[in-house]
């Protein structure tokens, strides 16, 4: 059983990476060119973003090189990811529930990275019982406690919100409850493992060290083992459920919300438009110059349906 437990750990990590890559590839392959929102300000406009302007203000902008402020994009996406700025502005009641949930996830994700680096340092000779590792262990202890409470409290709040709010209830499916419930269970088990063991940090370091060295030793804590098993499940659920927005958020903003690259600046867009114009129409309305499926969009674009028939 111990060997199976560690194999599940490997499968969860590899499965998450593979499924995330496949989901990103599928998105990029299947996603069409998006209709521009024409909503400003767009962060990568630099100083113009301060008043909602754009490069189109410049005289003969199409003859000039495009200058994009990547720092503006980075700052805006970090503000949204770290603080859920849009939810805070437009739905404060939801923000009070979803922000603790997301903050808890960020804490545990950051804590996992710190534990992994600590194990590497121990492999390199840093004393596990030394002052530095003791300090790191205290930090991880606080991170796990705060992060777990955030996930549990925020997750329960989001579940109750979906059940009580008529607007959210209309679009809530079983998948939403399964996702949130699995995170809440993960947080509860993390709290139990934290409360009933001398050091969550030592348990985490032992587990990661065992994974890296293929040393399949049983873990001394039932709660910690259950916590990890649910964690494996959560890791697999993220790329295959609506939780995948964790992975796709970059594209949702850069490709859709902030995607304002004119066609004459993009050879890729020109080629995509050329392919799309060859698609057959599936409408039979008079203004599309039917009948259904008889013409391509090039035919529609170059035909006047109101012209007298010969």
Is 247 found in the same domain as 287?
no
Same domain membership, residue 82 and residue 7: yes
Do residues 238 and 283 share a domain? no
Strand partners, 296: 280
Same structural domain for residues 113 and 202?
Answer: yes
Q: Is 306 within a domain?
A: no
Residue 125 lies in a domain: yes
Q: How many CB atoms neighbour CB 298 within 10 A?
A: 13
Is the pLDDT assigned to residue 36 strictly greater than 70? no
> Within a domain: residue 62?
no
Question: What is the C-alpha separation between 161 and 142, in angstroms, rounded?
Answer: 28
pLDDT at 267: 86
How confident is the model over 105-155, as pLDDT tens digits? Answer: 999 999 999 999 999 999 999 999 999 999 999 999 999 999 999 999 999
Q: Is there a domain that residue 74 lies in?
A: yes
Contact 262, 62 (CB under 8 A): yes
Residue identified by tokens 């534990």 is 115
CA 16-17-23 angle, to 5 degrees, is 85
Q: How many domains does the chain have?
A: 2
Residue 217 has what pLDDT? 92
Residue labelled with tokens 């990275």: 113
Share of the chain above pLDDT 90, in %: 55
* Same structural domain, 120 and 171: yes
What pLDDT shows up at residue 199? Answer: 94
Give the residue among 112, 102, 193 at the shortest CA–CA distance from 151: 102
> Is residue 246 located within the same domain as residue 287?
no
CB count, 10 Å around CB of 265?
13
pLDDT digits (tens, 9 = 90+) for 210-257: 999 999 999 999 999 999 999 999 999 999 988 888 788 777 777 778
Residues 243 and 138 in one domain: yes
Nearest CA among 187, 191, 104, 211 for reference residue 141 = 191
Can you give the length of the chain in residues?
A: 310
Question: Rounded CA gap, 219 and 32, in Å?
Answer: 48
The rounded mean pLDDT for the chain is 89
pLDDT over 70, % of the chain: 95
C-alpha 177/C-alpha 163 separation (Å) is 10
3-state secondary structure the chain: CHHHHHHHHHHHHHHHHHHHHHHHHHHHHHCCCCCCCCCCCCHHHHHHHHHCCCHHHCCCHHHCCCCCCHHHHHHHHHHHHHHCHHHHHHCHHHHHHHHHHHHHHHHHHHHHHHHHHHHHHHHCCCCCCCHHHHHHHHHHHHHHHHHHHHHHHHHHHHHHHHHHCHHHHHHCCHHHHHHHHHHHHHHHHHHHHHHCCCCHHHHHHHHHHHHHHCCCCCCCCHHHHHHHHHHHHHHHHHHHCHHHHHHHHHHHHHHHHCCCCCHHHCHHHHHHHHHHCCCECCCCCHHHCCCCCCCEHHHHHCCCCCCCCC
Rounded distance between C-alpha atoms, residue 296 and residue 167, angstroms: 39
| pLDDT value of position 260 | 82
Containing structural domain, residue 295: 277-301
Q: What is the pLDDT of residues 188-215, one digit of tens each?
A: 999 999 999 999 999 999 999 999 999 9
- pLDDT one-digit tens code per residue, 58-116: 888 888 888 888 898 888 888 988 999 989 999 999 999 999 999 999 999 999 999 99
Q: Is 24 a domain residue?
A: yes
């Amino acid at each position: 059983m111990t060997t199976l437990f560690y194999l599940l750990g490997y499968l969860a990590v590899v499965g998450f990476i593979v499924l995330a890559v496949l989901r990103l590839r599928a998105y990029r392959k299947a996603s069409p060119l998006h209709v521009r929102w024409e909503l400003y300000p767009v962060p990568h406009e630099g100083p113009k973003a301060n008043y909602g302007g754009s490069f189109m203000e410049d005289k003969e902008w199409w003859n000039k090189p495009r200058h994009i402020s990547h720092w503006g994009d980075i700052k805006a996406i970090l503000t949204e990811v770290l603080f859920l700025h849009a939810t805070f502005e437009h739905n404060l009641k939801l923000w009070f529930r979803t922000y603790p949930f997301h903050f808890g996830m960020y804490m545990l994700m950051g804590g996992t990275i710190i534990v992994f680096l600590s194990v590497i340092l121990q492999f390199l000779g840093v004393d596990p019982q030394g002052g530095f590792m003791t300090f790191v262990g205290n930090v991880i202890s606080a991170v796990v406690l705060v992060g777990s409470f955030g996930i549990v409290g925020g997750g329960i709040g989001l579940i109750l919100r979906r059940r009580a709010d008529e607007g959210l209830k209309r679009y809530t499916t079983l998948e939403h409850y399964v996702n949130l419930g699995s995170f809440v269970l993960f947080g509860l088990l993390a709290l139990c493992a934290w409360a009933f063991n001398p050091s969550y940090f030592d348990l985490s370091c032992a587990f990661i060290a065992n994974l890296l060295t293929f040393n399949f030793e049983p873990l001394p804590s039932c709660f910690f083992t259950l916590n990890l098993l649910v964690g494996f499940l959560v890791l697999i659920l993220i790329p295959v459920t609506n939780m995948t927005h964790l992975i796709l958020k970059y594209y949702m903003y850069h490709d859709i919300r902030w995607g304002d690259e004119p066609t004459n600046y993009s050879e890729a867009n020109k080629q995509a438009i050329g392919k799309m114009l060859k698609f057959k129409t599936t409408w039979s309305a008079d203004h599309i110059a039917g009948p259904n499926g008889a013409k391509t969009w090039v035919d529609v674009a170059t035909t006047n349906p109101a012209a007298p028939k010969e």
